[in-house]
Chain A
Amino acid sequence: AQKVTQAQTEISVVEKEDVTLDCVYETRDTTYYLFWYKQPPSGELVFLIRRNSFDEQNEISGRYSWNFQKSTSSFNFTITASQVVDSAVYFCALSSSGGYQKVTFGTGTKLQVIP
């Protein structure tokens, strides 16, 4: 069985602060994929990034960066210089290579950026 844990239920930061959203996963598969999605107040989940289990290189995209560490089974997401538009619920998800495209989602972290 696979599992994704997002221990932070809600986080509030003041605009321009940096914030890190934690994600810890469990899987017995050696090949798997990790994702982050953003759900703004409008409701539609939007894909942010995908990482496969063989690629531990960190990634930066503008103010967003992701740190993937297999040794600790973590895939953390950092927003630098947060903005009000970053306010949303963020989901970490895990997909393994066993059969259909089944994705296990974490419980989500609600981020509020205060102006």
Chain B
Amino acid sequence: DVKVTQSSRYLVKRTGEKVFLECVQDMDHENMFWYRQDPGLGLRLIYFSYDVKMKEKGDIPEGYSVSREKKERFSLILESASTNQTSMYLCATGTGRVNTEAFFGQGTRLTVV
């Protein structure tokens, strides 16, 4: 079974803090993704990576950056957290083929106060 593990289930951070969300996968998948999920908006793609050290902006990259130093690990970074970044963050992996499904982590619910 594919395992996608996000480092925290719940996080509470203060405005202005630098926040790291970590995601680790064990299936050697090429692609990794970060989404945020908000009520009424569904899942929106923040960033994705198709190889080590490679990254591409998704639909809502502003205020975020990512790091992929190793194939199995993909980090989402909030450089200076703001209250409008309070959300559920979902990491996903995929084989890179468009006809295959994505595998998701359990999500991190981030609250910025």
Footprint of B on A, CB under 8 Å?
A: 6, 9, 33, 35, 37, 42-47, 50, 52, 91, 95-97, 100-103, 105-108
Nearest-neighbor residue (CB-CB) of A110 within chain B: B39
Interface centre among B40, B96, B102 (most CB of A within 10 A): B102
User: Which B residues lie at the A interface, using CB under 8 A?
Assistant: 9, 31, 35, 40-45, 48, 50, 56, 88, 90, 92, 94-107, 109
Residues of chain B within 8 A of A100, CB atoms compared: 31, 48, 50, 56, 96
Cross-chain contact A101 with B98 (CB below 8 angstroms):
yes
**Contacting pair A105 B43 (CB below 8 A):** yes
Query: What would 15 more interface pairs be, CB under 8 Å, given A91-B43, A101-B97, A101-B100?
Result: A6-B42, A43-B9, A44-B104, A45-B102, A47-B102, A52-B99, A91-B42, A95-B98, A100-B48, A101-B48, A101-B96, A101-B102, A102-B45, A103-B45, A105-B42
**With A96-B98, A101-B96 in contact, is A44–B50 under 8 Å at CB?**
no
Q: Are B40 and A9 in contact (CB under 8 A)?
A: yes
CB-based contact A107/B41 at 8 Å? yes
How many angstroms from the CA of A38 to the CA of B3 in the assembled complex? 17
Please give the distance in Å from A3's CB to the nearest CB on chain B. 11
CB nearest to B43 among chain A residues: A105
Given contacts A100-B31, A107-B42, contact A33 B107 (CB under 8 A): no
Q: Shortest beta-carbon distance, A53 to chain B, in Å?
A: 10
B59 nearest CB across to chain A (Å): 9
Most chain A beta-carbon neighbours within 10 Å: one of B40, B43, B103, B107: B43
A97 to B96, CA, bound (A): 11
| Residue of chain A at shortest CB distance from B40 | A107
Contact check, A43 vs B96: say whether CB atoms are below 8 A apart. Answer: no
Q: Which 5 A-B pairs have the closest CB atoms?
A: A107-B42, A43-B107, A47-B101, A45-B104, A105-B43
Give bound CA distance, A80 to B4, whole Å: 31
